[in-house]
Amino acid sequence: MARPLPFKIAAVSTVLFVVCTNFVFCNNGRRVGDVMETEFSGFSVPLEHSFEVADVAKFRVRGALMLKAGREPSVSLTQSQLSEEDRAKLKEVAAVDGLYRIRVPRVFLQADRQTERQMEGYLTAFVRACAMVESHLSDVISLHTDVSGYVIGVSIVTLPGACRGTEVEDEVDLEVFNTTLSLMAPVNAPGPETALFVEQMEIETEKKGKNPQEQKSFFAKYWYLILGGAIFLMVSNSAQPPAGGGREQS
Amino acid sequence: MAKLIWFGLKCILLCSTVGAVFEDQVGKFDWRQQYIGKVRFSHFDAHVQSSKKVLLATENNVFASINTKTGELFWRHVDMTGPEGNIDALLHHGQDAVLVVGDGRQLRSWDINIGGLNWEIVLDSGSFQAACLVGYQDTVKHVAVLKKTVISLHYLSNGHQKWIENLPESETVDFQAVYSGGNGEVYVLGVVPHSHITIVAYSLEDGEIIKQISVEAPWLSNIQASCVVIGRGMLTCVDSAAVSLYTLDLHVQSQMTQISLQSLELEATPGFQPVLVSTQPNPALPPLSEFFLQLGPEHHLLLQLNSGQIVTLRDFKPAMLVAFASPGEKTVAAVMSPKNKTACSLNLFSAESGRRLLDTTLIFNLDPYGGKPEKLHVQAFLKKDDAVGYRVMVQSEDHTLTFIQQPGRVMWTREEALSDVVTMEMVDLPLTGTQAELEGEFGKKADGLLSMLLKRLSSQLILLQASIAHLWKLFYDARKPRSLVKNDVTIENLSRDEFNLQKMMVMVTASGKLFGIDSKTGTILWRHYLDNIPSHAAFKLMVQRTTAHFPHPPQCTLLIKDKDTGLATLHVFNPIFGKKSQVTPPALLQPMLQSLMLPVMDQDYAKVLLLVDDQYKVSAFPSTKNVLQQLQEMASSIFFYIVDSDQGKLSGYRLQTDLSTELIWEIVMPTEVQRIVSVKGKRPNEHVHSQGRVMGDRSVLYKYLNPNLLAVVTESTDLHPERSFIGILLIDGVTGRIIHEAVQRKTKGPVHIVHSENWVVYEYWSTKSRRNEFSVIELYEGMELYNSTVFSSLDRPHAPQVLQQSYIFPSSISTMEATLTEKGITSRHLLIGLPSGGILSLPKMFLDPRRPEIMTEQSREENLIPYAPELLIRSEWFINYNQTVSRVRGIYTAPSGLESTCLVVAYGLDIYQTRVYPSKQFDVLKDDYDYMLISSVLFALFFATMISKRLAEVKLLNRAWR
């Protein structure tokens, strides 16, 4: 019963995807859906979104992510405006508290060859559609990479993030995306900070070293203890009859 | 050094939260139970007549001696875990016990009286096959160890090697057994499967091969499974395919003689592999010519080999278990046969004749909540009148050891299943009858004024009755001497104490046996064996209904999942009495992916358990109409996540109204770089009292308290010390947003992690510095809260501030957990189980990323400890003083009714229960609190005020008159 359904959805969405890619054009005039080699050794992948009243994801292209590989990877985004139809739909979805989802294909930033860059599967994230509407399409998208340059996750939040139920009257507010995009690499977690601690200790000892009281020699400091010990030893030696020694000799 | 001491002193001054135990408090609030595990080998010490020792070697690599009178440990040696410490063989002779350990790597001899090591030698490598004691002319002086390619002979007295010889043709022949009959020769038996047997006889003196023979045996594949040596060197094998016995005289080269079972008028149970059992009471003498043949699960025969002929001495049917024992010169056989459904009877038979010995019947009552008997260990002895007496240790499927003496008195039982606790929960005890009655009165619906009045009157009457009974008991007890007053905990008189310090520990063990243990005394109050547990099972124990909903009984659910197939079953039971619940759990036909407990309750106050199968369909338990309706209403706010570590995938789902699910987020970590090793959420019953931290300048730094936060630990697949790393990801479980992502380079696992409040603490091995390190991550919202009334993962656009600091820890650790208290006011400690057996209570204060490197006025104001790279282990931090807990695998913490007190259970090979007071007992009066003084002062003050008032009045009056 449940099995054949996703297949149908997949088929429908791929059909739609193909249809849409034919209509959407990017600023540079190229087709967005394709991965392409650009002049600055970067490449681009589609950023797709989906908002449906009947919570079944149908992803369409929202824009193109231009990824620049290399030592310092960077990312930029070109995206088109929302159409009249989409705006109405987004408001409709927001009214029923639906989800606004985005997805990007899995990519590997450090690969040299084109074929290695894109991998099977997608990374998806979502935000409530009402938050998208109420923030006037101001969203913050971040792509997270792992140590070796694979993009492992995408996240989206809107600013402001709350759904207060305020009506967005002006259609113009929902036309242009106001997106802040970032590429986040993992931070290096700090190890135990020994160097500074040792330095501090050295400063402390130096301070002590300057103090003349501390510069006394071992004997100068503990002469009374040593003297006391010596006297005690002498006394105990002379007082004790050599019982143990006697047995040893015999 | 002086600096360090000074620093240590300062630390103590700064945080005087040290909670050591006074000498008179030892054992007052804590207890420990020591276990050994499932028994593999056992030997009763028959060396001294009145010996009360049994030597046990177990599958948990433990070698122990147990007092047969009480069941307590005399001594115990815990070896390494895993194959290195595996006990391959236990041989016992006189005062010595010889152990082969670690697949034949070590040979050890122990003195059984004191448990001291006599000697230990390291053997050459090679996989272990068999070992036996070798005797000659009535004395046993050697031990032979057979390995895959060599045989070596060692002196029993010092372990020195007498000789070592390579086995001939060891590349083709699989040598499996070694035998010595006391005639100065050592026989090694090998087999080429489905071809022939090879027998090599070595001289005891110099290891010279005396002879080597091959005998055709195309039906034989394994000597150890189907052959024994009987009588004067007669190798006897059983072949289930041809339904016959084969005999071969080792001393004379000949053919194998086939004796079909039919000619003996015997019949084997179809599909059962017959088993032979022989006995060799003295290694210096050949084995007895009597032996057991098991033909079916409940069919045994005592046979005798008499000059080449096999004679049936006695047919035991039904007989589940048999065992030989040799008190003195005689040998007897103990046979266990079923008596009725609830009991078995044991009898002794003379091995020579098969006659039943008089007055040797012993009744063994089967535990209805236990497993079936699996093995018999018989201790037989000669009484004064030369009659044979015996005691039996019965080992059951659930690893229980029961020691019985005639006529059926159970001397002790040891629940060895508790050596392998997998998971546990602590459940509040129910209220007493009277308390429950009162509660019930408020709980029920009002149905008229008069009935309410009657109800109230009746409950008051019951209360009065109870208090009189209590007073009477007090009076009665007071007359008796102190020692006679027993406070035995039984299941009947269980009730919650004032501060809820006594709880029921529900423990789930790997063998599938469940236990209910009283946390105050450690008494096992109930046990329940589940006999259909798959061998690779994962357990998850959940409390669906607590004891707070009288008259509904408390309810626990155990999810048992077969790791191989993914199929799961549910066991629903009452955690106080251990009884299986009347509620029938749903049958789960699909493999399970995830289970989650919702805070939603049905009309009977049972929390709803959601189960997600591999079709991403959700089923609810209980699934009443009420529950389904509630689920439909709040479906859009129920989110869950699934981790697939094989594909490195974390995915989030949302529930839909028709109980299907939709995928809403997905994170994929390439498995060629790193793999997910653990995912830790927060504990649902955790409370955080303060929302923020007050800074030195009196401003507040607010904590980022996201209840949906997950800490994901990954380990790199590249294990090179320069390139290996561990990764820590903090992910919001609802939105899939990666809150923080960090890598700790040049480190490797195993990683131990604790995730609580707004912090994550983890421990790892640094490959660069070769040491254990701790790291702490704390999350803060900043100086102002985004939304102070409620936390929603869907509406937190700003990422939190992340602070992190690391420290050196001087020891490796076994497990880690944080303390938990009722309201979260008490400061937190980390409880760290060390491999040495100590449990360390480390104040969280020391793991604080805000510890300043350079002290300023403000940080001093905040009471921060200056940063030091090393965390010291202070001996007063050990909460289990000298009560070592071997092989700690888990620590469980539970809040008590007192805010200051947290209950702790550490489990592993041993179980240890105690209480900790992370901020000292601020809400409890001390034991030696002087009530007399304070009350007399109060009274004195009271009278003083009265008198002075009177005096003042008089004075005023006088002044007025003047």
Summarised one tens digit per residue, pLDDT across range B488-498 is 666 667 788 88
Contact yes or no for B143/B153 (Cβ under 8 A): yes
ipTM for the predicted complex comes to 0.77
* pLDDT band, very low/low/confident/very high, at B953 (cuts 50, 70, 90): very high
Residue B710 pLDDT more than 90?
yes
Give the 3-state DSSP-derived string for B392-453, with helices as H, strands as E and coil as C. EEEEECCCEEEEEECCCEEEEEEEHHHHHEEEEEEEECCCCHHHHHHHHHHHCCCCCHHHHH
What is the widest separation between alpha-carbon atoms in chain B? 139
Query: What integer pLDDT is reported at residue B457 of this predicted model?
Result: 86
Q: Which residue, among B366, B251, B230, has the nearest Cα to B303 in the 3D structure?
A: B230
Tokens for B774?
């701790």
Chain A interface, mutation test: which of B615, B654, B668, most A Cβ atoms within 10 Å? B668
Structure tokens at B552: 């509904």
Q: What is the Cα–Cα distance from B824 to B709, expressed in whole angstroms?
A: 18
Residue B102 confidence (pLDDT) above 60: yes
- Closest alpha carbon within chain B to A98: B636
B429 pLDDT more than 80: yes
Could A192 and B743 be called an inter-chain contact, meaning their C-beta atoms sit closer than 8 Å?
Answer: no
Residue B742: predicted pLDDT: 93
Which segments of chain A have a pLDDT < 50? Answer: 1-40, 242-250
pLDDT value for A213: 57
| Least Cα separation, residue A214 to chain B (angstroms) | 12
Q: In this predicted structure, what is the pLDDT of residue B558?
A: 93
Distance from C-alpha of B163 to C-alpha of B10, rounded to nearest angstrom = 63
Q: Is B118 left (phi over 0), alpha (psi -120 to 50) or beta?
A: alpha
**Taking 90 as the threshold, does the pLDDT of residue B288 lie above it?**
no
Nearest alpha carbon to residue A143 among A155, A130, A125, A132 = A155
Query: Which chain B residues are within 8 Å of A106, Cβ to Cβ?
Result: 668
Closest chain B C-alpha to A126 CA, distance in angstroms: 6
pLDDT confidence of residue B285: 84
Position B946 pLDDT exceeds 90: yes
Question: Which chain B residues are Cβ-neighbours of A52 within 8 angstroms?
Answer: none
> What pLDDT score was predicted for residue B496?
82
**Where would I find the H helices in A24-134?**
84-95, 114-117, 129-134
Q: Which residue, chain included where needed, has tokens 């990374």?
A: A123
Nearest-angstrom CA–CA distance, B44 and A95: 79
pLDDT value for B480: 66
Q: Does position B177 have pLDDT exceeding 70, yes or no?
A: yes
pLDDT of residue A207: 87
Question: How confident is the model at residue A214, as a pLDDT?
Answer: 54
Segment B605-619 mean pLDDT: 89
Region class of B483: left (phi > 0), else alpha (psi between -120 and 50), else beta:
alpha
Which residues in chain B touch residue A155, judged by CB atoms under 8 angstroms apart?
735-738
**Averaged pLDDT for residues B201-217:** 87
A234 touches chain B (CB under 8 A): no
Of all residues in chain B, the percent with pLDDT exceeding 90 is 35
Summarize pLDDT for B329-345 with one digit per residue, the tens.
888 899 999 888 888 89
What's the whole-number average pLDDT of chain B?
87
Banded pLDDT at B185 (limits 50, 70, 90): confident
A161 touches chain B (CB under 8 A): yes
Q: Which residue has the tokens 């039982």?
A: B413
- What's the CA gap between A212 and A231, in Å, rounded? 30
Please tell me the distance from the alpha carbon of residue A98 to that of residue A129, in angstroms, as a whole number.
6
Give the pLDDT confidence score for residue A14 in this predicted structure. 33
Q: Look at residue B842 and tell me whether its pLDDT is greater than 90.
A: yes
Instruction: Say how many C-beta atoms besides its own lie within 10 A of residue A236's C-beta.
Output: 9
- pLDDT (mean) for B275-287: 86
| CB of B238 closer than 8 Å to CB of B291 | no
Taking a C-beta distance cutoff of 8 angstroms, is the pair B768, B746 a contact? Answer: yes
Q: Chain B residue with minimal CA distance to A199?
A: B853
**Is the backbone of residue B500 left (phi > 0), alpha (psi -120 to 50) or beta?**
left
Looking at chain B from residue 772 to 811, which residues have their Cβ under 8 Å from any Cβ of chain A?
A: 773, 775, 787, 794-797, 804-808
B748 phi, psi to nearest 5 deg: -150, 170
**How are strands ordered across the β-sheet holding B568-573?**
B537-545, B555-562, B568-573
Residues within 8 A of B (CB atoms), A 173-202 only: 184-194, 196-197, 200-201
Supply the DSSP symbol for B38: S
So what's the pLDDT on residue B15? 44
- Collect all residues with Cβ–Cβ distance below 8 Å to B380 and sequence separation of at least 6: B325, B326, B327, B332, B334, B348, B388, B389, B390
Note if the bond before B622 is cis, omega within 30 degrees: yes
pLDDT computed for residue B75 by the predictor = 93
Question: Tens digits of per-residue pLDDT, B492-541?
Answer: 677 888 888 899 999 999 999 999 999 988 889 999 999 888 888 999 99
Mutate to test the interface with B, among A138, A157, A158 (most CBs of B within 10 A): A157
Which one of A68-77, B236-245, B890-899 scores highest in mean pLDDT? B890-899
Helix (H) or strand (E) holding B939: helix B931-961
Query: Does B14 or A96 have the greater pLDDT score?
Result: A96
> What residues form DSSP beta bridges with B658?
none
Indicate the pLDDT class of residue B542, thresholds 50, 70 and 90: very high
Closest CB from B615, B636, B795 relative to A162: B795
pLDDT in tens, B623-640: 888 888 888 888 888 899
Cis peptide before B407 (omega within 30 of 0): yes
Report which DSSP code applies to A190.
P
CA distances from B48 to A62, B13, B378 (A): 88, 58, 16
CB of A93 within 8 A of CB of A86?
Answer: no
The pLDDT assigned to A215 comes to 59
Q: What is the pLDDT of residues B579-610, one digit of tens each?
A: 888 888 888 888 888 888 888 888 888 899 99
Q: In whole angstroms, what is the distance from residue B330 CA to residue B350 CA?
A: 8
Give, rounded to a whole angstrom, the gap between the first and last alpha carbons of chain A.
103
Most A-contacting residue of B674, B728, B795 (CB-CB within 10 A), to test interface: B795
Distance CA B18, CA B15 (A): 8
C-alpha span between B737 and B729 (Å, rounded):
10
Q: Note whether B742 contacts A188, CB cutoff 8 Å.
A: yes
Asked whether the predicted pLDDT for residue B9 surpasses 50, the reply is no
Calpha distance A146→A184 (Å, rounded): 9
Residues 373-432 of B with CB under 8 A from A: none
The predicted-structure confidence for B772-826, as pLDDT tens digits, reads as follows 999 999 999 988 888 778 888 888 888 899 999 999 999 999 999 999 999 989 9
Q: Which residue has the tokens 């030892």?
A: B26
CB-nearest partner of B773 from A126, A161, A192? A192
